[in-house]
Amino acid sequence: MFNEDEKIDAISGATDSWGDNFSRGEQYKNVKQKALVQSQEFYGKKFLVKDKLAAIEWKMGTESKLIGQYMCFKATASVPIDELEWYNFSWGGLSEINTEAKTDSTAVETEELEIKTTEVEAWYSLQIPELQNALSKNLSLLYSSFNLFNYTNVFARAAYSSNIDQIRSLTNFENVIRTSTFFNSSFADENVSVFGRVQRTFGKVRATINTSFNYSKINQFIQGLQSLNEGFTQTYTPGLRTNFKVAPNVSFNYRYSVTNNNQGSRETKFITNAPSIDFDAYIWKKVTFRTNYSYTNQDLGNGESQSFQNWDASLSYRKDRDAKWEYEIKATNLLDIDSQVRNSANNISVFSSETFIQPRFVTFRFVYTL
């Protein structure tokens, strides 16, 4: 039987690079308990270092200012610029201190070494309450029906939610600087959503219509003022699709959406029209051709509109259903558009987002099935 005693390799000579043999890992601080935990690698060995955080003596001042709806006071403290951390230990630094001590031994006995510090400031308030979890009320209803005789499928869903004492932010703007203070709002936020789908098959043609409605009420706080933000979105999406087993199949869809947003002093309205078509064909039991095209137009409600379109296609070949190899040519963004632009609004701002798209791209692929 053999026992191995683990120990740190001895240092070969006094060097000035202790810090080079340390690898600092993750560090965690608990301010309330004034504790520090850090993973540390030292000469190939891993350690878990536990330490205490240095106490900071704050001096409460009389200077005050209003941040949001809270009166805040200024506090200052002095903290060392260069903290003495053991993993940054240097023989050179120690030798400099010893040299100064030897130069005037009497001075060392009566005077402490000067520690360079810097002053930091913080703002505190006694008015901010402790945050509590919000109370949420949720109600949902589901309905579904399928008629096997006339192939009619009906689905509906309604949901309602209300949040009381919701954690909200008090937002303030100073030029381009935005600050937020969080608190429990006594105003209830509500959301109502309804979705419905009716689908029926007539021979080889399947007709579908989807509808959705969403209403939201959110209380917002900007520059110390409370205002109500209301949003209502309604979407209608009818569609037709053929369902042939061998012949080519085509699918037509049209999406019409209206979004209204009321931010108190400003109202916005976006109307979206988006027709699309999908086509797929299985030819000679060997070749599959697929393509899809969509066009999106968004009315900004001020006489201006933005639109973009997209077209993709692919052509694949497989000798027969049992063939191991399949070859495909796939093209994306055939119209070579630059970007897609979408406009929206939230409880603070109205914004426009632009998604840049990869230029026209054609690839050749081959697939082997195991």
pLDDT category at 89 given cuts 50, 70, 90 is: very low
pLDDT category at 84 given cuts 50, 70, 90 is: very low
> With pLDDT > 90 as the criterion, what percentage of the chain qualifies?
31
- The string of pLDDT tens digits covering residues 153-186 is 999 999 999 988 877 776 666 666 666 667 777 7
> With pLDDT > 70 as the criterion, what percentage of the chain qualifies?
74
- The string of pLDDT tens digits covering residues 241-282 is 998 887 799 999 999 999 988 877 778 888 999 999 999 998
Helix (H, G, I), strand (E, B) or coil at 195: strand
The pLDDT value given to residue 364: 94
Mean per-residue pLDDT for 293-298? 93
Helix (H, G, I), strand (E, B) or coil at 99: helix
> How many angstroms separate the CA atoms of 195 and 210, rounded?
8
> How many angstroms separate the CA atoms of 349 and 345, rounded?
6
Give the phi and the psi of residue 184 in degrees, each rounded to 5: -90, 120
- The string of pLDDT tens digits covering residues 103-158 is 554 444 445 556 677 888 887 776 666 677 778 899 999 999 999 888 899 999 99
DSSP string for 5-65: ---PPPPSS--S-GGGGEEEEEEEEETTTTEEEEEEEETTEEEEEEEEPPP---EEEEEEE
Question: What DSSP state is assigned to residue 336?
Answer: -
The pLDDT value given to residue 16: 46
